[in-house]
Structure 1
Amino acid sequence: MAYEDSNAALPAPAHPMANPGYGKRSAPDSDDEPRRLADFSRLPVREGYLAALLDRLPDGAAMDAKTLAKAQPLYGQQAVRTALNELSRAGHLRRVRQLAASDGTGIRWVFRSYWSRTARDSEWWARFLGGDVTPQGAHIDVLPKTQSAAARPTGRPQPHPRQTPAPTSSTAYQTLAQLGLTDPRLSLSTTDCDALESLAAEWFARGATSTQLTSALTSGLPEAVHAPRAFLAHRLRDKLPPEPIQAASRTPRLILECTECGVPGRPEALPEGLCRACRTVVIGAGSERTIHAPEADVHRHAAGMRAILIARRDVPQPSRPLLLAGTRPR
Structure 2
Amino acid sequence: MAVQNPNVPSRAQARPAGNKHHPHTRGLQHHNTRHTARFTVIGNHLAQHRELSLLAIGLGTHLQSLPKGAPADIRTLAARFPEGVTRIAAALRELEAHGYLRRERHRTPSGRIVTRTTSCNQPATPCRPVEASSPPPPTAAPRTPEPRSPRKALPDVPRPAYPAPAALQEAVDLLSGLRRHDPHLLLSATDTAHLAPGVVAWLEREVGPAAVRHALIADLPPEGLRRPAAFLAHRLTAQLPPPPPFRAPAAPTPVRHPVQNCDGCDRGFRAAGPGRCRDCRTDHREVA
Structure 1 length-normalised TM: 0.24
Structure 2 length-normalised TM: 0.28
Structure (1 or 2) with the larger CA radius of gyration: 2
